[in-house]
Amino acid sequence: MCAVFIGPGTSSQPCSDQYKGVRAFSEQETANLRDFVLKIKGDLKMFITIHAYSQLLLVPWGFQSQRPSDWVEVVCILTVSVII
């Protein structure tokens, strides 16, 4: 299953806070982040993103309602990361 970032909560208007872009990584900020992660992917152990607009901490499973089998470990890591 893939996350779909279109529909409610997104906008096709470039001046909108919820602008989704014209395609994946079409905006400079997301393209720069993608390039950086691809550059260090061999050394990358974890990637945590903070969705500043809503103050949400998103994990790769954030688009599904079913929790992964290692959910307890994920929560422990996130808790320590937020405290630090």
Residues 15-24 pLDDT 10s? 988 888 888 8
Q: Are residues 79 and 69 part of one domain?
A: yes
Of 53, 48, 50, residue with least CA distance to 74? 48
pTM over the 0.85 mark? no
The count of domains in the chain is 2
Q: Which two tokens stand for residue 70?
A: 């290692």
Q: Are residues 38 and 2 part of one domain?
A: yes
Q: Are residues 62 and 38 part of one domain?
A: no
Domain encompassing residue 35: 1-44
Q: Are residues 26 and 61 part of one domain?
A: no
Q: Are residues 53 and 26 part of one domain?
A: no
Alpha-carbon distance 63 to 75, whole Å? 16
Q: Are residues 15 and 1 part of one domain?
A: yes
Label residue 83 by pLDDT band (50, 70, 90): low
